[in-house]
Structure 1
């Protein structure tokens, strides 16, 4: 019989999967932590139906760990109630086979003993904001773009990380080759395998671009329900990593892996549908931008400073803002302007939406979507004026307004933010601050080789 799944999963999904892949022997079950990292287990084939029927115990302390997987005492989640497990259930629609590993994979989500969503899980934070939007008569839709680097599994001279050799020719290029179609062709065996895998795991990967630096690429993902769009990012990153390894490469999702090359963003495209399915951000009959969308942008402008720790959660995240290369650290907005934080792209007036360009690809997509949607809802509820759009190069103005200017500033601002605490929930808010302060201290005590080179025998 089993127990009713609070996640909405159904045993028939597991049976259909097992029937489709009779020779598959293992399945990765993946719980996404506060950093966007998959934590979980690899179970055997015969355990899958039990997961769907009864769930699976895992420790909630996973949400109290730093990015290295070490417990942070100040989160209040370490050995709470003796360190017992909470029950995890499959996320419906995420079970699929990853061809490169020949294992199954399914996302899971954690619930407490009463079957209620565990408040410190990031996916639930987004689900709560989705529920708020639906209560207001909106259905949030979106997509997140993924920029990333492909690098060699082995380092080059002087231990430097190098752009990956092309899968087709074995050649290496140190040129940017921005938007080069030939660049994509030379890496096509890998990308063909990624597309094939995406089809099996249900991630609608679309356009592929050679980006602004050697070895940098971007996948766009099809627009759909915002919660599923965030799931897509988690699944896609694991798929890209696993497939790249089989080609002797590593996929790098750091925000700024190379100081003198462009950073990697995770741009969020967002709109809201009404009860009839029509886009509530569509242009007015007079051809003007919709006041509702402008209010949403105004709400995000009013809250973006409080949420910078979500958008740029690591020390490396802030290196992406050091040079203005399509990486805005501001609250600016504009029309068809890639130097602003909130861009309104050109396109069909009926499909109008805006793009939030601040988050790095290292950010947790559930949290990015949660704070962005919450800011938009706040803006519409209070009819917030976004102000005039920025025209021209927003980097030239140097306008950052009241935004944090460093990782530590962002931690301080987030800790004091009533908005962030309300949106993400007090337990998560407290734990995230503790984790980020512990990570900041860890990195503050690390003396780099660059410091030795510059200061060691000079000052």
Structure 2
């Protein structure tokens, strides 16, 4: 059977010839929560996956964040939990740095046995939005930013997580060492490994900074002309950062808000749009006058943001990040060179004009984020939507109050379930799968009696 993903056996054979030291491979399928699910295969099994794909159960795309089946997705016993076929994604077969014995990795995507896309696979949803734009003569480009915490493996005396000490010498700091270069030196061995691993996998990791909280860092990625490649970059970068941190005795944390008194971690998406001639349609033709395509795209993103918030904040913890004066947006505002808004137009060369979409936390699925952002842009362009006035100054004080904007996880789930826009953006199958998983996770959290319950109520009520 010809691979429906476009992968070829020659890619596998060439890779094996170039890397005789590699003994095994991680084959990784990304589920609705952005969790990598799959297997570790032996070297001799790789070529067969490129020839025939690899059978995997359909239920792998119907799991909650804990790995439990969500029966309401219809992907478990309704289909007898039958096997579908996962195929390699071309260009993602890479060596893993620092493993012993040596291993490689390849990203996978799910298809039905007849080769048609399995439409609860998040990567297929992004591919569909990209194709829709290509039919309009447009090609989306972009890059993600990765914010995360490096935490100690051991909790403090109260059971709370705490920033990791420097891997170089164990030095600890409880300060917000934002933009401190000297502070970064303590993590130099870890970041050197991260850069080496990124190079081995062809991931264009660039600047690292010490972010706005103790133990928080940010890695940027080079801008891609292919937004699907940008999403693949982010998936692979999170995996290698987590693995490198573990080898250095610390924990890489991708929760949106792991420490209550400090800023949370975002996953900002920078996006622009190229036409068939390679021109960025967001670039203004006349100095001082915004391109209509830019304004309409901002309008589409602002209009669809309330009903899309479940994609950008998919977990209970995600909603703890949205606090005023914390660099996380609290309303669908836009502005120029302003980090207090949700949709930022960065300063810079007009040829590189882009939108920085800031609502998503680092705990999100990059394929779903990019899918929803592109669908919002498409709606704005098609309907020529007006983004409203630019927000200047303090966007937290000047943010509009929207009656229909969800303020918590449960309301976001309900808004997503009822959203025709999100159903069209993700596709009806993935929309049903994603919202069913989120509903099941909400019920799990809602019925859990936490330590906070005991602290507040055990002796007081």
Measured after TM superposition, the shift of residue 323 of structure 1 is 4.2
Query: Is 1:88 matched with 2:86?
Result: yes
> Corresponding residue for 2:48?
50
Question: What is the rounded CA distance, in whole Å, between the counterparts of 1:13 and 1:172 in structure 2?
Answer: 46
Tell me which moved more, 432-441 or 77-86: 77-86
Measured after TM superposition, the shift of residue 183 of structure 1 is 1.1
Tell me which of 426, 429, 432 is aligned to 2:431.
429
Measured after TM superposition, the shift of residue 399 of structure 1 is 2.6
Measured after TM superposition, the shift of residue 159 of structure 1 is 2.5
Question: What is the rounded CA distance, in whole Å, between the counterparts of 1:84 and 1:311 in structure 2?
Answer: 31
The correspondence of residues 147-158 of structure 1 with structure 2, limited to 5 A, is: 147-158=147-158
SS at match of 2:158: helix
Question: What is the rounded CA distance, in whole Å, between the counterparts of 2:159 and 2:312 in structure 1?
Answer: 30
Structure 2 residue runs without a partner (length 5+): none
SS at match of 1:256: coil
> Corresponding residue for 2:363?
362
- Report if aligned partners of 1:331, 1:400 keep a CA contact under 8 Å in 2: no
SS at match of 1:199: helix
> Corresponding residue for 2:19?
21
Question: What is the rounded CA distance, in whole Å, between the counterparts of 1:351 and 1:386 in structure 2?
Answer: 20
- Report if aligned partners of 1:100, 1:242 keep a CA contact under 8 Å in 2: no
Deviations 1:313-348 (A, max 9, x none): 000000001343000121100011101000000000
Question: What is the rounded CA distance, in whole Å, between the counterparts of 2:220 and 2:191 in structure 1?
Answer: 13
Change (3 A) 1:408 1:191: same
> Corresponding residue for 1:138?
138
Measured after TM superposition, the shift of residue 398 of structure 1 is 4.7
SS at match of 2:296: helix
Question: What is the rounded CA distance, in whole Å, between the counterparts of 1:377 and 1:442 in structure 2?
Answer: 35
Measured after TM superposition, the shift of residue 113 of structure 1 is 2.0
> Corresponding residue for 1:192?
192
> Corresponding residue for 1:349?
350
Question: What is the rounded CA distance, in whole Å, between the counterparts of 1:367 and 1:292 in structure 2?
Answer: 23
Measured after TM superposition, the shift of residue 400 of structure 1 is 4.2
> Corresponding residue for 1:218?
218
> Corresponding residue for 1:316?
317
Change (3 A) 1:153 1:100: farther
- Report if aligned partners of 1:255, 1:317 keep a CA contact under 8 Å in 2: yes
- Report if aligned partners of 2:193, 2:244 keep a CA contact under 8 Å in 1: yes
Tell me which of 26, 33, 40 is aligned to 1:35.
33
SS at match of 2:208: strand
> Corresponding residue for 1:443?
445
Question: What is the rounded CA distance, in whole Å, between the counterparts of 2:10 and 2:59 in structure 1?
Answer: 31
> Corresponding residue for 2:125?
125
> Corresponding residue for 1:268?
269
> Corresponding residue for 2:460?
458
> Corresponding residue for 2:70?
72
Measured after TM superposition, the shift of residue 286 of structure 1 is 3.3
Question: What is the rounded CA distance, in whole Å, between the counterparts of 1:385 and 1:404 in structure 2?
Answer: 22
- Report if aligned partners of 2:323, 2:330 keep a CA contact under 8 Å in 1: no
Question: What is the rounded CA distance, in whole Å, between the counterparts of 1:158 and 1:313 in structure 2?
Answer: 27
- Report if aligned partners of 2:263, 2:321 keep a CA contact under 8 Å in 1: yes
Tell me which of 371, 389, 408 is aligned to 2:410.
408
The correspondence of residues 193-272 of structure 1 with structure 2, limited to 5 A, is: 193-224=193-224, 225-272=226-273
Deviations 1:24-47 (A, max 9, x none): 101000000000000000000000
Measured after TM superposition, the shift of residue 291 of structure 1 is 0.9
Question: What is the rounded CA distance, in whole Å, between the counterparts of 1:452 and 1:294 in structure 2?
Answer: 50
- Report if aligned partners of 1:32, 1:38 keep a CA contact under 8 Å in 2: yes
Question: What is the rounded CA distance, in whole Å, between the counterparts of 2:44 and 2:147 in structure 1?
Answer: 37
Question: What is the rounded CA distance, in whole Å, between the counterparts of 2:285 and 2:457 in structure 1?
Answer: 59
Tell me which moved more, 31-40 or 159-168: 159-168
> Corresponding residue for 1:100?
98
Question: What is the rounded CA distance, in whole Å, between the counterparts of 2:142 and 2:460 in structure 1?
Answer: 52
Tell me which moved more, 338-347 or 80-89: 80-89
Question: What is the rounded CA distance, in whole Å, between the counterparts of 1:130 and 1:75 in structure 2?
Answer: 25
- Report if aligned partners of 1:333, 1:342 keep a CA contact under 8 Å in 2: yes
Measured after TM superposition, the shift of residue 165 of structure 1 is 1.2
Question: What is the rounded CA distance, in whole Å, between the counterparts of 2:176 and 2:58 in structure 1?
Answer: 43
Change (3 A) 1:236 1:318: same
- Report if aligned partners of 2:330, 2:396 keep a CA contact under 8 Å in 1: no
Structure 1 residue runs without a partner (length 5+): none
Measured after TM superposition, the shift of residue 158 of structure 1 is 2.8
Deviations 1:65-99 (A, max 9, x none): 11101011111111343221111111111111111
> Corresponding residue for 2:307?
306
> Corresponding residue for 2:335?
334
- Report if aligned partners of 2:152, 2:162 keep a CA contact under 8 Å in 1: yes
- Report if aligned partners of 2:324, 2:396 keep a CA contact under 8 Å in 1: no
Deviations 1:197-246 (A, max 9, x none): 00111111011110001110000111111011011111000000001100
- Report if aligned partners of 1:329, 1:400 keep a CA contact under 8 Å in 2: no
SS at match of 1:441: helix
SS at match of 1:396: coil
SS at match of 1:235: helix
Measured after TM superposition, the shift of residue 304 of structure 1 is 0.6
